[in-house]
Amino acid sequence: MINKYSAKIVSRHGAHLVVKDDQGIRHTCISSKKFSHIVCGDRVECSKIDQDRDQILNILPRKNELVRQTEYAKKSVAANIDTIIIVCAVEPEPSLELIDHYIVAAEQLPSDVVITLNKIDLENHLSIIESLQSKYTNLPYPIVTTSKLSSIHNLDALINLLKNKTCIFVGQSGVGKSTLINALVPNINIDTQEISDLSRQGRHTTSSTTLYDLPLGGELIDSPGVREFVMPKLDAKSISKGFVEIEKFRNECKFHNCIHIQEPKCAVLEAVKENRINKQRYESYLKMMDNIKEENYQ
């Protein structure tokens, strides 16, 4: 009799995978070529082969998948994401335009978004906090501040937002993503060693996408390849979907195919004039739409 069980992908190294069953126990699995598209976070069905090895039988339907743009194609890097944590810092100074790109990507999944401002122990942090709050306070994206000097500063607030969720970190280099991940997963080195032993891949495991359990509930997917995530190419409809405040007024526009740039009786343009839509956010929208035009002319 085949001993079947359901599990989640913890890490993958070619045909060798580490999975976590519904009781939280990790197992070593092998997969065939037909499952070459499997990624961290996927839900799967497994069965026993022998005492030391299991096999993947099936991939269960995905809630969503996070895709990044490579030089030549789109690549799936993680699946079944509940929350994307956008990490920025007082230094290097945040790019609000880049944050908007991350938010648009998150809305495509869709997933929740948490904006985390790190390194608030540095000078001039108040002006940056004010800048973030002025742009995002009226949007469904909570802002959490953290500090490297005091790893517990507001960490509880972040933990509460991630509790019982599967999350992944994105953000530009140098903002302190690794420091935050180590603070959220105190036993990360022990977990990494256990996963390495199970996968039989040695230290190479530390550079691959890996799912870790959060101590108070929830999971964190650490993917070095997606931390500086590049958003896939999107069409106008998808970009508009990524700006929730624009979508809110879309049905009030005169024309159903309005792209909210210069069309007559556009409810979005009226909302921008009346400060019901943040002007900086609308400028980010226009830049993304301009990029589509430039690509079409190339």
pLDDT of the residue at 150: 54
Q: Which of 59, 74, 103 is the last residue of a domain?
A: 59
| C-alpha closest to that of 19 among 37, 3, 7 | 7
Q: Which of 13, 43, 59 is the last residue of a domain?
A: 59
Please tell me the distance from the alpha carbon of residue 43 to that of residue 10, in angstroms, as a whole number: 10
Residue 121: which of 132, 111, 129 has the closest Cα? 129
Q: What are phi and psi of 80, to 5 degrees?
A: 60, 50
**pTM of full prediction above 0.95:** no
Same domain, 279 and 200: no
Residue 230, in any domain of the structure: no
75 lies in the same domain as 211: yes
Q: Note the pLDDT of residue 92.
A: 83
Does residue 179 sit in the same domain as residue 262? Answer: no
pLDDT in the model for residue 277: 96
Residue position matching structure tokens 């700006």: 243
- Residue keyed to tokens 């809110």: 248
166, 208: one domain: yes
147: domain range?
65-222
Residue matched to tokens 């799912």: 211
Asked whether residue 92 is domain-assigned, the answer is yes
Which stretches does DSSP call E strand in the chain? Answer: 4-13, 16-21, 26-30, 43-48, 54-59, 65-69, 74-79, 83-89, 112-118, 143-145, 166-170, 210-213, 219-222
Residue 227 lies in a domain: no
Shared domain for 275 and 187, answered yes or no, is no
Per-residue pLDDT of the chain (298 residues; tens, 9 = 90+): 468 999 999 998 888 899 999 999 999 998 888 898 999 999 999 998 887 789 999 999 999 999 877 777 778 889 999 999 999 998 888 889 999 999 999 999 999 999 999 888 887 788 888 889 899 988 999 999 988 665 556 788 899 999 999 999 988 888 888 888 888 988 776 566 666 666 654 443 445 789 999 998 999 998 876 655 667 788 999 999 999 999 999 999 999 999 999 999 999 999 999 999 999 999 999 999 998 865 554 4
Domain shared by 28 and 74, yes or no: no
Task: Count how many domains the chain has.
Answer: 3
**Residue 25's domain is classified under what CATH number?**
2.40.50.140
- We report the CATH number of the domain holding residue 82 as 3.40.50.300
Closest listed residue to residue 50, CA positions, set 102, 9, 3, 94: 3
